[in-house]
Amino acid sequence: MPVNRMVLNETAYFGKGAVDFIADEMKKRNFRSAFVVTDKELVECQVTGHVTDVLERENIKYGIYDDIKPNPTIENVQNGVKEFQRDKWDCIIAVGGGSVIDTAKAIGIIHKNPDFSDVRVLEGVADTKNRSMPVIAVPTTAGTAAEVTINYVITDNENKKKLVCIDTNDIPVLAIVDSDLMKSMPTKLAASTGMDALTHAIEGYTTKGAWELSDTLSLKAIRLIASNIVNAVKGREETAIESMGLAQYMAGMAFSNVGLGLVHGMAHPLGARYDTPHGIANALLLPYVMEFNADSTGEKYRFIAQAMGVKNTDKMSEKEYRKAAVDAVKKLVKELALPSTLKEINIPDIELKQLAEDAHNDVCTPGNPKKVTKEQILCIYQKAYSKDNNVSEGDSKTGINKTYSDKSINPADSPQKEI
């Protein structure tokens, strides 16, 4: 077996009421003050208050930075660094979704590694020398697992690009996964962020770098998500919301250490160019990319289908279980009432070629289990554009693979000749 590396938080707490442990953990580390990074909506709907109440009760000095938008920008980071440096702080507490936690990570890294303050140089595997300012991450969505990953994603508006930054120096020291902070998510946000978590679990399970330990975490995450997402989103059941918090974290433990794939590679350009919410982009693209990857995943789709609750997968042929895994994901997207075509989210079809170019260059794309060309990515975007848009006939038996065969990837042959 090759040597494999796992980088995780020093400490993590899970479950309702876990925020109360922040104060003790801060004391243990001798942190007497905190720079709280959050966003305006979370302050307004009193989600941030769950954490600041604890700090006030314990007389811990804190300041707040909340100038962060979803799909956070370089400016959000640079303004945050300026705010942070106005005073002296012992740690950063990030209270929010992936956008907030990612911004907090970037602020912590740049403060300790000022050579990287233009942010763009942090893209890819960053060569920082110093550990970040200690970050305590408190997620308020159950999706990105940014609290346990060594990644952060910042949007470069000038170059219309999402910068995926990978750096072990950014791992938060403490993660607090408290379902009380996730309960207020509106239905669509809970559904889309949950599908981001499922995408992490499936891409983390099938990515090139996956191995036994990451597979165990990814599969368990798929199982937990499949059995809890609908009850968490539609039923608003507390135990299901709690399980989603745990599941997204497990998926994060895996993918952070082994990588992702083409779904994320194709979702990032949608976020960068059209501000598409990350979970919406992933939920929409996941089935199409799964179809494309199917023939490069060995027996793994059998276990994905099983974990998604499909019965009798043991008796299924390769074609059948591959189709069953994709269908189970499609069914979930439908049940959660999320968009399933790019047309529905108003992506202009004349831009698909540019998107394919961007996705081909994305940091996540090389992790895909199947090597992919720009033309094949364009073909997948075309297929995802509209259900009526049959890029090619495909294999009538499987509906898989042949659709993306080299023959079908010449854009001149496709119905969208203008692309």
Ligand X SMILES: NC(=O)c1ccc[n+]([C@@H]2O[C@H](COP(=O)([O-])OP(=O)(O)OC[C@H]3O[C@@H](n4cnc5c(N)ncnc54)[C@H](O)[C@@H]3O)[C@@H](O)[C@H]2O)c1
Give, in degrees to the nearest 5, the angle at Cα 189 between 328 and 368: 50
Residues 262-301 within binding reach of ligand X (CB under 6 A): 271, 278-279
What token pair was written down for 180?
């009380």
Q: What is the DSSP letter of 317?
A: -
Q: 95 is in the binding site of which of ligand X, Fe ion, none (Cβ under 5 to 8 A by kind)?
A: none
Q: Give the binding-site size for ligand X (rule: CB under 6 A).
A: 32
The CB-of-116 to Fe ion minimum distance in angstroms stands at 23
Which residues from 71-130 bind ligand X, rule CB under 6 A? 71, 96-100, 102
Considering only residues 220 through 279, tell me which ones interact with Fe ion, judged by CB under 5 A: none
d(CA 357, CA 359): 6
Q: How far is the CB of 279 from ligand X (least distance, A)?
A: 5
Site for ligand X in 147-176 (CB under 6 A): 149, 151-153
Of the residues 12, 34, 39, 294, which one makes contact with ligand X according to CB under 6 A: 39
Instruction: Kindly give, in sequence order, each residue whose CB lies less than 8 Å from that of residue 43, ignoring residues fewer than 6 positions away.
Output: 49, 64, 66
Query: For Fe ion, what does the binding mask look like between residues 195 and 214, x meaning CB under 5 A?
Result: -x------------------
Which residues, in sequence order, are bridge partners of residue 124? 165
Interior CA angle at 220 toward 215 and 223, to 5°? 125
Amino acid at residue number 79: N
Residue 367: which of Fe ion, ligand X, none does it interact with, CB under 5 to 8 A by kind? Answer: none
Stretch that binds Fe ion, among 193-201, 204-212, 239-247, 360-368 (CB under 5 A): 193-201
Which is nearer to ligand X, 141 or 218 (by Cβ)? 141
Find the part of the chain contacting ligand X (CB under 6 A) among 78-86, 139-147, 212-220, 353-361.
139-147
- Quote the least distance from Cβ 331 to Fe ion, whole Å: 21
DSSP-derived 3-state class of residue 275 = coil
| CA gap 137, 173 in Å, rounded | 8
Identity of the residue, 126 or 294, whose beta carbon is nearer to ligand X in the bound complex: 126
> Residue from 128, 132, 144, 293 that binds ligand X (CB under 6 A)?
144
- Cα–Cα dist 169/193, whole Å: 25
Q: 173: Cβ–Cβ under 8 A, 6 or more apart, which residues?
A: 9, 10, 11, 29, 91, 134, 135, 136
Backbone angles phi, psi at 9, to 5 degrees: -60, 160
Residue 254: partners with Cβ closer than 8 Å, 6 or more residues away? 200, 201, 204, 205, 210, 213, 214, 215, 217, 218, 221
φ, ψ of residue 156 to 5 degrees: the values are -100, 95
Site track for ligand X across 58-77, x = CB under 6 A? ------------xx------
Does position 362 interact with Fe ion (CB under 5 A)? The reply is no
Q: Which stretch binds Fe ion (CB under 5 A): 23-31, 100-108, 194-202, 283-291?
A: 194-202
- Give me the least distance between CB of 271 and ligand X, in Å please: 6
Nearer to ligand X, 181 or 336 (CB): 181
Distance CA 12, CA 253 (A): 12
Residues that bind ligand X (CB under 6 A): 39, 41-42, 45, 47, 70-71, 96-100, 102, 140-141, 143-144, 146, 149, 151-153, 181-182, 184-185, 189, 193, 196, 271, 278-279
Residues that bind Fe ion (CB under 5 A): 196
